Structure formats: C-alpha cells, structure tokens
Amino acid sequence: MGVLIRGIALPQREEVSFVVDGERLRASSSASTVDDVVEGWLLPGLADVHSHPGTEKPGEAYDHEVFRRHMIAHREAGVLTVRSPGSADQVLSRADDVDLPRLSRGGRWLATPGRFFEGWGRRVTEEELPAAAVEEASNGWCKVIGDWLPDDPPVPLDVLTATVDAVHAVGGRVAVHCQTAEGCRNAVLAGADSLEHGVHLDHSLLPRMAAQGTALVPTFTAFGKIIGNLDESRDPRLKEWILSGWEHAFPTVLAAYEAGVTVLAGTDEYPCGEVVGEIFRLIEAGMPVEAAIGAGSWTARSWLGLPGLVHGGFADVVAYAADPVEDSSVLTRPSRIVLRGQVIR
C-alpha cells in the first residue's frame, strides 16, 4: 500500500512530502501508487519519557496484557515513543511489538534500604548499587531511587557518583528519582542523565545541569493527582513538603528552560496516554508553546536517539488539522497516526 505523507513538519515549519518505504520515510512528492494520503500539521508523534506500562499501582506485579493495553492507550493519544524509567519487570516485552509505540527500557527500579514503595523494585544495598545499575542498564537506561521521604538521607553522593560512572562506562544512561533538595543536588553532582520529578531542586544547580546535559522531567501529571487528593489526615510535615514542592516546581521548570536545561514531558501515573496534559502544564509553567510541545515530541525523541521527520527517518507521524503551536488544544485530537510505517488511523 502506497502512503503519501505531506504537510508542514514541526519544528522546522517546512513543507514536506514523503512516501512510506517500509519503516522509513523517503522524500518524494509522488508515489507510483497512492492508496492513502496523510496530511496536516505533522509531528514525529508525541513522546512520554516517564511512564510505567505494565502496572497500575505500587506493589503490583508486571502483567504483559496490561502493558499492551497501556501502550495502545499511549498510541491512541498519538504517543509513539515511551521511556519506562523503572518497571516491575526486568525487560518488559522481550522484543519490540511492531504495533506498539517505540519503547526505551529502564530495567527494574533500583531501591536501596529505606527508599521506595515496600516490596517493589529490585532491592540492593548501597554497596551493590553500582554493579546492579550496570545490569539493569543492559537495555540502555537504569533508574535509581535517589531519595524517598523528606527528612531521610538520599543515596550518598559518592555511591551515586560511582553508580553513574559505572553505567556510563558501559554506554548506559541513568535516571534518578529525586524530590528532596539534597537528593536533587546529589543527582546533579553525580552527573545523572535525568532528574525524575526534581521538585525541590535548587536553582543554583541549573547551569551545571545545562552544561553536562542533565535533563529535568518534572512529572506534573503525577503530582497534580497527589495534590488533588491531599486530605487533612496526612502527616502535616509531608503535606507541607508536597505543597511547597508543587509551588516550587513551576518556577523551576521555567528557570531550567531559560538556563538551557532540557525539560521533558513525562506523566508517571496511570492512566497512560495523557502526555498532552503534561505539555499543558509545561506551558502553564511558562515554557514557550513550541518548546513545551517539543518536550513531549521531537526534543524527547532526539534525546532518546530517534530522528524526527526527515528523509531516512522512521515513519512515525501524527497529523493534526491545525498548527499545534497556534492552537495547542488540537494536540488532544490527532487526525492521523502512522507508526513504523503502518497507518493506525
């Protein structure tokens, strides 16, 4: 089946015309047989860099049918790239499912004593962390729980630095869960590739993050749900910490963007397929609309090593009826979806 894709590609804002050639895009203004024309404002799909397909609640075991359902929910929303920073399964699916979005795997969550949800993730001592991180990063990424509760110590800086160095030495990348100011600081000083949440991040660290290429994934979607459910019975110290973190996160995202830090869209929480809501939060924080869309699309893909809408790039395309930069609400209504060269919609 000949598929012609044409329209205005973002972020270049150039008229493009491709034919689908297997899984790839080939620049061409015509095809010998055209069965379908996909047109409009074109993105290389949306991307959610913080999602945990396969489980819905802390403590649950990985379920492959749930995983498939989650990934299809992403796909239906136009999300064609997902990074899973931590899973209840070591490798998720064994091989890429051709009908599901591209998946960047992060192994199991690496949790040292006193940190993370009871009974979840791979539990290791601080001494074991660097070697375990290398094992979990065999598919590219690993995820370290760098801190947990507000008044508890984070993973010590020397341990985290040894972990990041060991993973980088084998070509892997390290995502660090951090929420406390000290946990965020250790993640930055250790040279982590991404800070997940980073809610109490000290702004004085932003230039260093920009210089060394540490990304920030604020996951507003997840915290918005926590904020919405904060009841009076919660520990007042915890409640104050969560609320102050929420208030701090918005100016942090703007300051990070202005300092040149790569800010990316990740939802964290079930249900899957809600990255557009995260993009709206980034806009609310003050990021320019185009940069916020990039954070949940081309910037995220490029950060994961995937090409955009170029000759020879993957035929992953989502078309919209209007310019999403002019009218971001159109992001909730993808008109056409092509994944790995297959027309989904």
Chain position whose Cβ is nearest to Zn ion: 268
Which residue's entry shows tokens 């939802």? 267
Pick the closest to residue 68 from 57, 82, 58, 48 (CA basis).
82
Comparing CA positions, the residue from 161, 166, 171, 202 lying closest to residue 184 is 202
Q: Where are the alpha helices (DSSP H) in the chain?
A: 64-76, 129-136, 157-169, 181-190, 206-212, 220-228, 236-259, 275-284, 289-295, 298-303
Which amino acid would we find at residue 14? E
- Six-digit token string for 122: 């791979």
Q: How far is the CB of 309 from Zn ion (least distance, A)?
A: 29
Nearer to Zn ion, 17 or 214 (CB): 214
User: Which of 178-186, 236-244, 252-260, 265-273 is the region at the interface with Zn ion (rule: CB under 5 A)?
Assistant: 265-273
- Least gap, CB of 23 to Zn ion (angstroms): 29
CB of 44 to Zn ion, least distance (A): 24
By CB under 5 A, the count of residues binding Zn ion is: 1
Taking the complex as a whole, the smallest distance from the CB of residue 241 to Zn ion amounts, in Å, to 18
Using the contact rule CB under 5 A, the part of the chain among 183-191, 205-213, 268-276, 284-292 near Zn ion is 268-276
Candidates 177, 201, 178; CA nearest to 251 is 201
Distance CA 91, CA 67 (A): 12
Q: Does 147 bind Zn ion (CB under 5 A)?
A: no
* 297 and 46 Cβ atoms separated by less than 8 Å: yes
Nearer to Zn ion (CB atom), residue 89 or residue 268: 268
Span of 30-38, 206-214, 255-263, 264-272 interacting with Zn ion by CB under 5 A: 264-272
- Using the rule CB under 5 A, which residue among 147, 193, 268, 316 binds Zn ion? 268
| Binding segment (CB under 5 A) for Zn ion, from list 165-173, 225-233, 266-274, 282-290 | 266-274
Nearer to Zn ion, 147 or 268 (CB): 268
Residues that bind Zn ion (CB under 5 A): 268
